[in-house]
Structure 1
Amino acid sequence: MPEKQQSPTGRPRDPDVSERLIAAALEEYARTGWQSFTMQGVARRAGVGKSALYRRWTTKEELLIAGVESVALPLSETSDSGNLREDLTDAATRILHHFLDPTGWATLRISVDSTASPTMLDPFQERVTQAIRSGITAIFTHAADRGELTSDVPVRPLVESLVGSILVHVLSMPFDVRDDARQNAAAHVEPLVDVIMRAASPQPCP
């Protein structure tokens, strides 16, 4: 006679609830900033009890780390199609979508708030900044390895120029244009990528 299997103790964690809590945490932070960011506010925004939140994270620092890591990983991923322009366009499209989303505004607000609380918030800001920088840097590195770029091209200014131009593009975008930007992101980032391509390409000798 087969042994009766014991039921696992406790209620298993629902990944959908975890994802909803992380999304709510980033939206809450985007609207309130660090000083007013509370576990209670996140639970209320997510529509779950505080106990569900505290079973996963015991402090708002742990919760914000989870939120930042959830957006940092996709931003650090890179494609290697064998073509610099295509890879930059893909990365720029993902960054554009990031800044058009409430999660993007949360990471932007972390950067602003870190000027007032650098000791507390610098680690959060650095995770996102490093994710964006490392992903695009890898694209330029692959291009240099293929011979599309010379090894002396200053990569960091190019990375910062691309990310900065995308952010300014979003900040200056009228609200009624944002839906078009989400649906036709490539058309919005291609002019910005063109500028970077011209700056990165070796100049012909006179």
Structure 2
Amino acid sequence: MPSPGSAQESAPTSRRSKITPERAQELYTAVLDLLRESGYDSLTMEGVASRTRCGKSTLYRQWGTKPELVVAALHGTRRTLFSDIDTGSLSGDLHEVARVVDAASGQDTALMHALSHAALQNPDLLCAMRSTLIEPAIAAFDAMVGRAVRRGEIDADNPAAEYVAAQMLGIMRARPLLEGRYTDHTFLTRFIECAVLPALGLPTPPPASRRSGT
């Protein structure tokens, strides 16, 4: 006869068996959309059920609680915006980041804001945010800097190099708080050229290049 502990450990496996991967993706997408629209506190299992035409009992049977569902949605839709960027120069990489951020500001930035406060109250949610949204972005920026060092663009001991990720991610988070607006292409480009590149000792593109996008 299994012990109570082993029964609890096996319960998640048995309850997570009736939703197809395709249906799970639909549910995860709906969860993240609702988070962006209304925030974490307003998200309910009832709302997800209504948006997805799914029985509320199915959601509870599959995930148990709202935090578990949100964590599953974050892991199930994990993607990195910056990992494929490699233009051949650090300046080019960072400018491409500005373009990508501008295109995704209504998605990932809104999601980060929707979850930030709630994550401080929920360790599992905070861990999921870090592993699915924050750590991949940090790794991508660190990879850009590492390539720049190997190409000889910046010195390995440049003291500003270790803060590139913090600068970039920090300004994306700070602008909505300071100005009530997401970080768009123009703002982030100016930040890169006025703060990030000078700290690294890299030249900024001439005005003509900025206008042409090269």
* TM-score when normalising by structure 1: 0.69
Higher relative contact order (CA 8 A, sep 6+): 1
* 1:108 alignment partner in structure 2: 113
SS in 2 for 1:79: coil
Q: Note if contact 2:31-2:70 (Cα within 8 Å) is conserved in structure 1.
A: yes
SS in 2 for 1:156: helix
Further displaced range: 52-61 or 65-74? 52-61
Distance across 1 between alignment mates of 2:29 and 2:74:
10
Q: Note if contact 1:92-1:166 (Cα within 8 Å) is conserved in structure 2.
A: no
Q: Note if contact 2:109-2:172 (Cα within 8 Å) is conserved in structure 1.
A: no
Select the residue among 121, 128, 139 that pairs with 2:144: 139
Distance across 2 between alignment mates of 1:91 and 1:56:
40
Q: Note if contact 1:65-1:124 (Cα within 8 Å) is conserved in structure 2.
A: yes
* 1:22 alignment partner in structure 2: 28
Number of aligned positions between the proteins = 180
Q: Deviations over 1:129-182 (max 9, x none)?
A: 1122111111111111111111012433221111222333345255xxx7xx8x
Residue 109 of structure 1 aligns with an amino acid whose one-letter code is: A
Tell me, yes or no, if structure 1 residue 149 matches structure 2 residue 173.
no
* 1:165 alignment partner in structure 2: 171
Distance across 1 between alignment mates of 2:95 and 2:202:
19
Distance across 2 between alignment mates of 1:86 and 1:141:
14
Select the residue among 127, 130, 151 that pairs with 1:126: 130
Give 1:200 deviation, angstroms. Answer: 1.2
Q: Note if contact 1:78-1:91 (Cα within 8 Å) is conserved in structure 2.
A: no
Give 1:64 deviation, angstroms. Answer: 1.9
Distance across 1 between alignment mates of 2:144 and 2:21:
36
SS in 1 for 2:63: coil
- Shift of the 115–14 alpha-carbon distance from structure 1 to 2, 3 Å rule, reads closer
Tell me, yes or no, if structure 1 residue 187 matches structure 2 residue 189.
no
Unaligned runs of 5+ in 2: 1-17, 204-214
* 1:40 alignment partner in structure 2: 46
Q: Note if contact 1:39-1:50 (Cα within 8 Å) is conserved in structure 2.
A: no
* 2:10 alignment partner in structure 1: none
Distance across 2 between alignment mates of 1:18 and 1:56:
13
Give 1:14 deviation, angstroms. Answer: 7.7
Distance across 1 between alignment mates of 2:19 and 2:46:
22
* 2:8 alignment partner in structure 1: none
* 1:78 alignment partner in structure 2: 84
* 1:95 alignment partner in structure 2: 101
Distance across 2 between alignment mates of 1:131 and 1:65:
16
Give 1:57 deviation, angstroms. Answer: 4.7
Distance across 2 between alignment mates of 1:162 and 1:81:
18
Q: Where does structure 1 differ by over 6 angstroms across 4 or more consecutive aligned residues?
A: none
Q: Note if contact 1:84-1:140 (Cα within 8 Å) is conserved in structure 2.
A: yes
Distance across 2 between alignment mates of 1:12 and 1:193:
45
* TM-score when normalising by structure 2: 0.67
Distance across 1 between alignment mates of 2:162 and 2:104:
21
Give 1:80 deviation, angstroms. Answer: 1.6
Unaligned runs of 5+ in 1: 1-10
- Shift of the 140–53 alpha-carbon distance from structure 1 to 2, 3 Å rule, reads farther
Distance across 1 between alignment mates of 2:81 and 2:140:
7
Q: Note if contact 2:29-2:77 (Cα within 8 Å) is conserved in structure 1.
A: no
